[in-house]
Chains A and B, each alone.
Chain A
Amino acid sequence: MSHCADICLALIFLSVLLGMAANRLMELVKIMAFQGTIVSILPVLLEAGQRDAAGLGFMAVMLTVKGLVMPLALYAAIKKVANLREVEPFVGYRASIFSALALVLAAGFIDRTLAPFMPPTHVMLMPASIATIGAGFFLMMARRKAITQVIGYLMLENGIYLTGIALAGETHSQRLLEFGVLLDLLAGVMIMGIIINRINQTFDDVDTGMLGSLRD
């Protein structure tokens, strides 16, 4: 089982790198679906994982939300707004990949410094979660379109979910955390959806750069 978990974590790192390097929105959505799936099944594969009916049921719910519902919603949103193809970066793709590598390094460093204060957990879990959080922030900061901000937010949430797994020895408290985050996410995505809609209506585009003209 431990090997499977390791493979999953490696895939998460891969999704982080791919996500930051992606230049097409559809590609990014697929990566999100992939990441969501991996992140959802990871808790069951860990050694301390809960593999009874409750644990599996929870996994199923997560899988549906992260791996299916959210990506489909994003897919629908992108389809709805016609001229959405490229992610339109502020930071170039090469620089993005470079930042992704730097981020993985930084995650390792932060994990090492934090390790003494943390409950013992799977080796690469903490760096993976920190890298995912960082990648979420990166997508929010370095991409122009409002929809990439939603994607960044979702990735951030994946990272928080991983951190939750790492921090919680007790699975119940982790679930509590996760439900709280999900609620947060729902609100966040809804607000972002409304904002995207509004920006689109007002400026005939979803470029958040246009919002700069609204400041007083």
Chain B
Amino acid sequence: METFFLAISFIIAAGVLPFLFLRSSRLMRGSAVIMTAAGGLTGLLFAARAMTTATPPAATFLLPGGLRVLMQVDAVSAFFLLPIFLVAPVAALYSFHYTRAQGPRAAAGYLFFSLLTAAMAAVVCAADITGFIIAWELMSISSFFLVIHDFGKKESRRAGYIYLLFAQAGAMVIFATFALAYGKSGSLDFASFATMPAQARILVFVLAFIGFGSKAGIIPLHTWLPHAHPAAESHVSALMSGVMIKMGIYGMVRFYAILRPPGPGCAMLLILTGAVTGVLGVVLALGQHDLKRLLAYHSVENIGIIVLGLGIGMLGAATGHPLMALLGFAGGLLHVLNHALFKSLLFMGAGSVQRGAATLNIEQLGGLMKRMPLSGTCFLAGSLAICGLPPFNGFVSEFLVYSGGFQGVANSEAQMFTALAAVISLAVIGGLAVACFTKVVGVVFLGEPRSEKAKIAPPAGRCMQAAMVLLAVACLGIGLGAPWFIALARRAAGPLLATPTPMPAPLDTAAYAIALAAAGFLLLLAILAAGRGLLAHGRPAESATWGCGFSSPTPRMQYTGSSFAAEIVGFYRPFVIIRRDFSGIHGLFPPLSSFRSHTIDLVELGIRRWLARSVMALTGKIRWLQHGHIQLYIAYIFFAMLGLLLWLMV
């Protein structure tokens, strides 16, 4: 456990040191990067050791006021430490060039960045209510400050407000969960919650699912994500989307491991939520114009996949199919790690685009592969990974979830329908994700630049490129080393399973087959590339493409992202509203006309229109209480005190 605290100290130092070097921006950023890297490496070392030891490391210490905090790192905790300590240093490295132009204010960013990292590590390791709540709130608040880093902008403040609202509403439900669990079990330790009666355990789990779901971004609690991520800086988005929302998943996993709610009800809740979250997330992503908003919706989608995996695992456990449980849990957990890697990679790619072309609007970009080849290639790698295509890591975890689902279809008659629904929604999600990233890569990186800024976009800074290459290599590495990482995920899923379940031989060989096929595919690609270089030496032939008969084509005539996605999004119209403003074309010599379309998130609209409006109407009725007269405010205090006194006396 000392190693863990050493890592945390390094990371806290990364937040404090920049304040000593406010004069020298380079020294400031450098100190933060180096300390975060040191903390990350130490933390990874600790997590690796904690995964392999039989007795989980634990620590207890007392807070002032006599509160006892218990920390324990079992395989699940250690597994969740991996993305934290992997992504944080890489994101810090990325920030070295990303925050170059910020001046001394970057120090504040580094402080909250390090606090967020440390708080997440503490969340994962906390084993009682006290420690967990402190770490959880620290995490929420430090990330709130990261979201409003650009507090001069109105959108940033609004995004921060929405984020705070959702984070604290979720925290409130989590507190209610804890209160209920404490009331029923009479103990602050997580481990003792297991002794509660079955009904209470189900209730506590459902409450925890809602509370943690708000952090994870399950639909309908996802609306903060598409606001917060475009507002935050890219390395922050990478950490928040890649790692922080996984803390919500961690909460669900932890509570499942403790409570083991009986019956298939909870599992079906997770599968249903996962399917809705995944499909709607990706459909909403398709309709976005802002690159970071689009990626935020993809985070929602991937949370859906993870929740689906967990749901399949729980269903397997509830219906007595240990193999299905193993595959579901291992797939879901491995997808946590995978998503952390490729989503942070994609957010960093979006950040490079933003720094280069000064916009995130997809319709104004284009042709960036020529301007920033390395960033573009890394983004492409991340896109392939997020679509779940081999040889990248997304495929491995989704393969596990699929296998779990098919186990359910094949073996469990009672739950066949649920398992089948899970498999089908996974397939739909995968297909739509491919369409979405075809759109992104095609419109942003291929074709011709659609704006002047995109035409002259400089390549990303060296550290930004290095960070992206690191992550892309990691994505590829997990794809190539599938058997080892599946074994890792199986070890992490250990505490979730009632009995240790061995992997059956066919699946074990399948893991090796995945790795071999991925390696073979890469080899083939390399041979083809080399052959092309040898045979077609010299420059490729240049000629005009078919321009649809236009005599002088302009970049504006290119297929736009919206038109690419319109057909698919239109199919899901009941769930996604497309709003079009078209001025129309009138007369033989039409004047300037305009067309604008944007998709509306039905859930967000619903929250705003029904929930927020009714609450406002209700609170509007008691608004006269706030009138601005100090005398009456004092009267409120006086009569409240008097009332309390009388209440005590009676």
Q: Which residues of A are in contact with B by a Cβ distance under 8 Å? A: 90, 110, 113-114, 137, 140-144, 146, 149, 208-209, 211-215
A211 cross-chain contacts in B, Cβ below 8 A: 628-630
In the docked arrangement, what's the CA distance between A209 and B649, Å? 35
Interface flag for B617 (CB, 8 Å): no
Question: Interface with A: B128-136, B341-349, B436-444, B632-640, which one?
Answer: B632-640
13 A-B pairs, CB-CB below 8 angstroms?
A: A110-B645, A110-B649, A141-B634, A143-B631, A144-B631, A146-B630, A149-B631, A209-B629, A211-B628, A212-B628, A212-B629, A215-B626, A215-B628
Inter-chain contact B627/A212, CB cutoff 8 Å: yes
Would you give the shortest CB distance from A129 to chain B, in whole angstroms? 14
CB nearest neighbor in B for A216: B626
Q: How distant is the Cα of A140 from the Cα of B637 in the complex, in angstroms?
A: 11
Chain B interface size, under 10 / 10 to 19 / 20 to 34 / 35 or more: 10 to 19
Q: Looking at the complex, which one of B627, B628, B649 makes contact with A113 (CB distance below 8 Å)?
A: B649
B2: shortest Cβ distance to chain A, in Å? Answer: 42
Bound form: Cα–Cα A144–B634 in Å? 12
Contact of A208 with B631 in the complex, beta carbons under 8 Å: yes
Q: Is the CB of A149 within 8 A of B630?
A: yes
Contact flags (1/0) for B639-650 with A, using CB distance below 8 Å?
000000100010
Of all A-B residue pairs in the complex, the 9 with the closest CB atoms, nearest first, are A212-B628, A215-B628, A140-B634, A137-B638, A141-B635, A208-B630, A141-B631, A211-B628, A141-B634
A-side interface mostly: helix
Given contacts A110-B649, A140-B630, 10 further A-B contacts (CB under 8 A): A114-B649, A137-B634, A141-B635, A208-B629, A208-B630, A208-B631, A211-B628, A211-B630, A212-B629, A215-B628
Which residues of the partner chain A approach B645 to less than 8 Å between Cβ atoms?
110
Cα A141 to Cα B631 with chains together (Å): 4
CB A27 to nearest CB in B, in angstroms, measures 20
CA distance A182 to B163 in the complex (A): 41
Q: Are B631 and A90 interface neighbours, CB within 8 A?
A: yes
Cα of A201 to Cα of B220 in the assembled complex, Å: 49
Contacts of B635 in A (CB 8 A): 141
Using Cβ atoms and an 8 Å threshold, which residues of chain B touch A215? 626-628
In the complex, residue of chain B having the shortest beta-carbon distance to the beta carbon of A215 = B628
What's the Cα separation between A105 and B649 when bound, in Å? 17
Q: Which residues of B have CB within 8 Å of A209?
A: 629
Q: Closest CB-CB distance, B252 to chain A, in whole Å?
A: 39
Q: Chain A contacts of B626 at CB under 8 A?
A: 215
CB neighbours (8 Å) of A213 from chain B are 628
When the two chains form their complex, are residues A140 and B628 in contact, meaning their CB atoms are under 8 A apart?
no
Contact B628 A214 (CB under 8 A): yes
Query: In whole angstroms, what is the CA distance A90 to B631 when docked?
Result: 9
Q: How far does the alpha carbon of A142 sit from the alpha carbon of B632 in the complex, in Å?
A: 9
Give the residues in chain B near A149, CB-CB below 8 Å.
630-631, 634
